[in-house]
C-alpha cells in the first residue's frame, strides 16, 4: 500500500511502512501544513499547466498587429483590449469558473468529459455515436495543437537572438531544431530529473513578465485605457474584415487554456484557480500592456515587442530564460500527448501501444515511443518548412479553437444532465459558443496560409481512432456470432472427459459470457484441461480510477471453473500479477510456478474481394494493419513471458 505526498513540486509514492504519522496538535500547525501543501501544488502547476499560455506573450501581440496591418494608437489599444477580454471571457469565466465544474470524479480533459457525457446517454441512441465522435474529434485536434506548440514556442524564443544581432538570422532554424530534437530524445528518461525545477523556473518567468510589463507601462501609462472593452469593439466596427481576420492571431493569447481543465485531476481546482488568479493572469496582463506601451512609443518595436521591453544588458539572459520557458511549455504538451494516448488506449480508441512508466515514484509519468517519434518528425518538418514563428502563427489556433468549441458543447450536455435549467444553461453556453465559433471562424481564414497542417494531423488521428473503434465492434460481433455460452460448456463437462491435469490455466478473454476461442483451441489440440481453469477479463471503466476494494469480481462456476473480472479506470495501470495477489482476499490463491496464461493470438485477414464492403475496404485494411501490429497482450498486462502460451487463429474481416 502506498500513499501520495508532494515533495519539491512532484508526486511521489511513499511506502506505507516508511510513513510517520504527522503530529498536528494545534490549529496553527494544521493551518501551516495545509498552506504548505497548497503552495506546493500551486508551484508545481505553474510548470506543468501554465507553460503554454505563459509563453504566449512571445508572439500574440506581434502577430495580431501584423495581421491587422496598422500601428496607430487606436489599433494598439483595440488589439490589447481584445486580448485582455479574450483572457477574461475564455480562461477566467469559461474555464476557471464554469467548465472546471464538469469533472469526472476529479479528472478533467476532453476524453474524461466525453466519457462522463456518454455515461448518461443510451448506447442505442444515435446521439451516443455523435457525442463519441465529437470527443474523438476533440482528442484528434489536441494532437494537431501538440505538434505546433513546441515548434512555435521554441522558434519565437530563439528569434530573440536576431533582436540582439542580425548575425544570428541564419542560425535560428538550426538552433531550434537542435533544441527540439534534444527535448524529444530525452523523453525516454522522463521528467523526474528536471520536474522539480519546472515550477520555480516558471515562477521566475512570470515574475520577469510582470517586471518587464510594469517598466513598459510606466513609460506610457495611457496604454491602460485598453482595459475598456469599447476599444476592442470600436476596432472591430471600424475595420470589420481586418478586425475579424486579426481575431485568429488574438486567439494565440488563450492557447493553453484547455490545459487548465485537462490537468485538473493532477492538481485540483483550488491550486489551478489560485495560480491563475493571483499570479499567471496578472503577469500576462502586465506584460501585454507593457508591449503595447512600447509600441505606442516606438512602432518600430513590432519586430519583436516582447524583447524590446528588456534593457540591452538583459537581452541575452531574457532569450535564455524564454528558451527554457518554451521548452517547459513544449514538455507539458508532449507529456499531455502521452497522457491522452494512454487514456485513448485504455478506453479502446487506439490499439495497444508500448507505454513505459519512466518513474516508480511519480504519478502519470509515461513515455510512448511511437508517439514521441511521430511528434519529433512532424515538429522538425514544421520548423524547417515554416522557418519562423510568424509563418507558424498562421497555422496555429484552428485545432485549439475547434477543441474549445467541442468542450463547450459537451459541457452543456453534462450541466443539463446535472440539473441546470435551460434558463441558466442556454444563455451561458450560448455566449461561450458564440465566442468559440467566432474565433474558430477567424482561424479558418488561415487554412491556405498553413492552417491546413493541424487539420490534416487531426483528420489522420481521428481516422485512426474511429477505424479502431469501429473495427473492434465488428470483430466483437464476429466472435459473438460463433461463440459457445460458457455456462453451457461447463454443464457439458463430465468427471471423466476431458482429462484434468494438475495446475491452473488462466485464459485472457474479452467476454466472460462465452468460452474463449483459445480454450477451445487448447482442448482441441491437447485433449485435456487443467484442474483449475480461470477466465479473466480486463475492463476499463469510464471513470479515472477504480479503488482496490472494487477492482475484483470473482465467481465460481463449478467443476474447477472460475471467472475473474478486473476493473480499471482510464488513468489506472493494468497489472495482472498484482490483481492475482489480491485474489487471496476472495479465497483464490495462485502459485505462479503452477499457473499458465493462455492467450489467443488472432491474425486478421481481409475477406475475398467479392465479399468485401465496397468503399470501406480502406478502413478494414487500416484496422487489420493496426490489429496485427498492436502491442502483445503479455507485455501490456505485465504477464511474465515464461508463463505464457499463445494459441493462434485467423479471422476474416
Q: Where in the chain is the domain with CATH 1.20.1740.10?
A: 40-470
Q: Tell me the pLDDT tens digit for each residue of 358-410.
A: 655 444 567 888 888 999 999 999 888 888 877 787 777 888 899 999 999 99
What average pLDDT does range 160-164 have in this prediction?
Answer: 73
Least confident of 106-115, 443-452, 599-608: 599-608
Cα–Cα distances in Å, from 305 out to 64, 175, 293, 296, 458? Answer: 12, 22, 9, 11, 32
Q: Tell me the pLDDT tens digit for each residue of 132-145.
A: 899 889 889 888 87
pLDDT number for residue 152: 83
Higher pLDDT, 41 or 516: 516
pLDDT number for residue 223: 94
pLDDT number for residue 4: 33
Half-sphere exposure of 500 toward its Cβ, with a 13 Å CA cutoff?
15
Q: What is the pTM of this model?
A: 0.79
How confident is the prediction for the chain on average, in pLDDT?
82
Sequence-separated (6 or more) residues with CB below 8 Å from residue 341: 350, 353, 355, 368, 371
Residue 342 forms beta bridges with which residues? none
Specify the long-range contacts of residues 552-557, CB closer than 8 Å, at least 24 apart. 552/579, 552/582, 552/583, 552/585, 552/586, 554/583, 554/586, 554/587, 554/588, 557/486, 557/487, 557/490
The pLDDT of residue 19 is above 50 = no
Confidence bin at 121 (pLDDT 50/70/90): confident
Higher pLDDT, 47 or 370: 370
Half-sphere exposure of 581 toward its Cβ, with a 13 Å CA cutoff?
7
pLDDT number for residue 257: 85
In this structure, which CATH number among 1.20.1740.10, 1.20.1600.10, 3.40.50.970, 2.130.10.10 belongs to the domain 40-470?
A: 1.20.1740.10
Sequence-separated (6 or more) residues with CB below 8 Å from residue 245: 67, 442, 445
Q: Tell me the pLDDT tens digit for each residue of 411-428.
A: 999 998 888 899 999 999
Confidence bin at 289 (pLDDT 50/70/90): very high
The pLDDT of residue 217 is above 90 = yes
pLDDT number for residue 77: 95
The pLDDT of residue 23 is above 90 = no
Amino acid at each position: 500500500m502506498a500513499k501520495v505526498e508532494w515533495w519539491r513540486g512532484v508526486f511521489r509514492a511513499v511506502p506505507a511502512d516508511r510513513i510517520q504519522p504527522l503530529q498536528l496538535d494545534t490549529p496553527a500547525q494544521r493551518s501551516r501544513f495545509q498552506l504548505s501543501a497548497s503552495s506546493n501544488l500551486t508551484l508545481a502547476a505553474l510548470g506543468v499547466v501554465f507553460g503554454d499560455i505563459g509563453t504566449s506573450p512571445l508572439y500574440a501581440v506581434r502577430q495580431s498587429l501584423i495581421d491587422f496591418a496598422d500601428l496607430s494608437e487606436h489599433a494598439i489599444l483595440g488589439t490589447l483590449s481584445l486580448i485582455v477580454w479574450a483572457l477574461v471571457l475564455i480562461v477566467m469565466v469559461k474555464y476557471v469558473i464554469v467548465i472546471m465544474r464538469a469533472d469526472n470524479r476529479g479528472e478533467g480533459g476532453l476524453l474524461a468529459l466525453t466519457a462522463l457525457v456518454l455515461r448518461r446517454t443510451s448506447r442505442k441512441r444515435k446521439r451516443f455515436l455523435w457525442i463519441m465522435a465529437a470527443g474523438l474529434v476533440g482528442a484528434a485536434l489536441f494532437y494537431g495543437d501538440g505538434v505546433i506548440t513546441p515548434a512555435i514556442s521554441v522558434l519565437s524564443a530563439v528569434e530573440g537572438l536576431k533582436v540582439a544581432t542580425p548575425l544570428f538570422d541564419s542560425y535560428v532554424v538550426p538552433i531550434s531544431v537542435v533544441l527540439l530534437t534534444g527535448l524529444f530524445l530525452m523523453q525516454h528518461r522522463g521528467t523526474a530529473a528536471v520536474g522539480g525545477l519546472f515550477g520555480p523556473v516558471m515562477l521566475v518567468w512570470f515574475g520577469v513578465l510582470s517586471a518587464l510589463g510594469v517598466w513598459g507601462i510606466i513609460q506610457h501609462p495611457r496604454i491602460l485605457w485598453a482595459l475598456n472593452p469599447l476599444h476592442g469593439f470600436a476596432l472591430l466596427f471600424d475595420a470589420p474584415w481586418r478586425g475579424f481576420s486579426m481575431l485568429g492571431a488574438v486567439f494565440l493569447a488563450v492557447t493553453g487554456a484547455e490545459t487548465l481543465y485537462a490537468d485538473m485531476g493532477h492538481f485540483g481546482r483550488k491550486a489551478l484557480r489560485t495560480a491563475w488568479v493571483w499570479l499567471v493572469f496578472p503577469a500576462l496582463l502586465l506584460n501585454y500592456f507593457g508591449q503595447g506601451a512600447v509600441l505606442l512609443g516606438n512602432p518600430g518595436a513590432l519586430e519583436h515587442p516582447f524583447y524590446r521591453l528588456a534593457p540591452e544588458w538583459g537581452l541575452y539572459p531574457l532569450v535564455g530564460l524564454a528558451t527554457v520557458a518554451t521548452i517547459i511549455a513544449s514538455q507539458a504538451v508532449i507529456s499531455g500527448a502521452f497522457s491522452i494516448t494512454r487514456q485513448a488506449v485504455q478506453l479502446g480508441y487506439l490499439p495497444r501501444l508500448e507505454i513505459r512508466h519512466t518513474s516508480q515514484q511519480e504519478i502519470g509519468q509515461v513515455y510512448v515511443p511511437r508517439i514521441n517519434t511521430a511528434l519529433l518528425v512532424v515538429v522538425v518538418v514544421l520548423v524547417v518548412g515554416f522557418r519562423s514563428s510568424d509563418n507558424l502563427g498562421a497555422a496555429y489556433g484552428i485545432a485549439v479553437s475547434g477543441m474549445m468549441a467541442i468542450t463547450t458543447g459537451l459541457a452543456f450536455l453534462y450541466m443539463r444532465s446535472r440539473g441546470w435549467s435551460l434558463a441558466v444553461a442556454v444563455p451561458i453556453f450560448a455566449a461561450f459558443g458564440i465566442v468559440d465559433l467566432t474565433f474558430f471562424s477567424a482561424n479558418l481564414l488561415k487554412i491556405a496560409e498553413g492552417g491546413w497542417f493541424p487539420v490534416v494531423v487531426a483528420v489522420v488521428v481521428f481516422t485512426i481512432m474511429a477505424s479502431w473503434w469501429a473495427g473492434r465492434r465488428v470483430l466483437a460481433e464476429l466472435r459473438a456470432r460463433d461463440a459457445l455460452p460458457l455456462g453451457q460448456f461447463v454443464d457439458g463437462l463430465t468427471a471423466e472427459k476431458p482429462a484434468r491435469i494438475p495446475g491452473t490455466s488462466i485464459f485472457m478473454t474479452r467476454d466472460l459470457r462465452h468460452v474463449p476461442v483459445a480454450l477451445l483451441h487448447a482442448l482441441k489440440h491437447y485433449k485435456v484441461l487443467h484442474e483449475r481453469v480461470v477466465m479473466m477479463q480486463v475492463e476499463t471503466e469510464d471513470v479515472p480510477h477504480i479503488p482496490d476494494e472494487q477492482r475484483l469480481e470473482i465467481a465460481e462456476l463449478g467443476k474447477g471453473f472460475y471467472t475473474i473480472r478486473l476493473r480499471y479506470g482510464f488513468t489506472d495501470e493494468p497489472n495482472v500479477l498484482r490483481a492475482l495477489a489480491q485474489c487471496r482476499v476472495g479465497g483464490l490463491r495462485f502459485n505462479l510456478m503452477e499457473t499458465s496464461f493462455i492467450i489467443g493470438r488472432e491474425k486478421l485477414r481481409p475477406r475475398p474481394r467479392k465479399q468485401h464492403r465496397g468503399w470501406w475496404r480502406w478502413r478494414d485494411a487500416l484496422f487489420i494493419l493496426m490489429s496485427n501490429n498492436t502491442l502483445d497482450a503479455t507485455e501490456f498486462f505485465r504477464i511474465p513471458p515464461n508463463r505464457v502460451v499463445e494459441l493462434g487463429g485467423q479471422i476474416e474481416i
